[in-house]
Chains A and B, each alone.
Chain A
């Protein structure tokens, strides 16, 4: 069983919709990360969380340490948000454990 589980695996939304991607983990962590990967392959860090909530533009990330659960929300989605969103956790030593990702397609 993977230490990090994401849902859904694939998500299609209409432009303007509110999107939620969920992540649960089963191990003790130092931090939880939300990452974005475009078809070219490079990964961009969106958020690093150890508690509470963070907001950056139209993106919001929350984490519940007790429930070992995090969510990534995208408000007013846009086609340029189409990408794979990956939840990952770090434990000691800054080693990442990745989920399998959520492939998001936003249709105009």
Chain B
């Protein structure tokens, strides 16, 4: 049983470009949350998707958008990349939106130059 998988593992982009990160949840999970972790910091919540809709959103600008597909996989899109967007992007999956155990992917390391 595959856990949470994220792709790509590493990515280098130029300032101003756009990027798409992907996440496949653990089998049986239907909720995907995205987090940004800057170096030396704890992860910060970006948003959560359930039933193909954004259910909750953290304090991130509209440049950060997402999507959830019918198979529960999800994408995180970031437009007009800034140097400060360089971070580890983590995806977590869970079942439902209540209190349940979450599983995390290995993350995508994004570097903006």
Chain A, Cβ-Cβ closest to B31: A94
Which residue of the partner chain B has the closest CB to A29?
A: B99
Other-chain residue from A41, A86, A95 in contact with B88 (beta carbon distance below 8 A): A41
Is A96 within 8 A of B109, CB to CB? Answer: no
Which among B13-21, B35-43, B61-69 touches the partner chain?
B35-43
B23 beta carbon closer than 8 Å to chain A: no
Q: Which residues of B contact A41 (CB under 8 A)?
A: 37, 88, 90, 106-107, 109
Residues of B near A99 (CB, < 8 A) are 42
Q: Which of B22-68 contact A (CB under 8 A)?
A: 31, 33, 35, 37, 40-45, 48, 55-56, 58
Q: How large is the interface on A (under 10, 10 to 19, 20 to 34, 35 or more residues)?
A: 20 to 34
On chain A, the residues within 8 Å of B84 by CB distance are: none
Residue pair B56, A100 in contact (C-beta under 8 Å): no
CB pair B33–A86 under 8 Å, yes or no, is no
Measuring CB to CB, which residues of chain A are less than 8 angstroms from any residue of chain B?
Answer: 2, 4, 30-31, 33, 35, 40-45, 48, 50, 86, 88, 90, 93-101
**Residue contacts A-B, CB under 8 angstroms, 19 given:** A4-B42, A41-B90, A41-B106, A45-B102, A86-B42, A86-B43, A88-B42, A93-B48, A93-B56, A93-B98, A94-B33, A95-B45, A95-B48, A96-B33, A97-B45, A98-B35, A99-B42, A100-B40, A100-B42
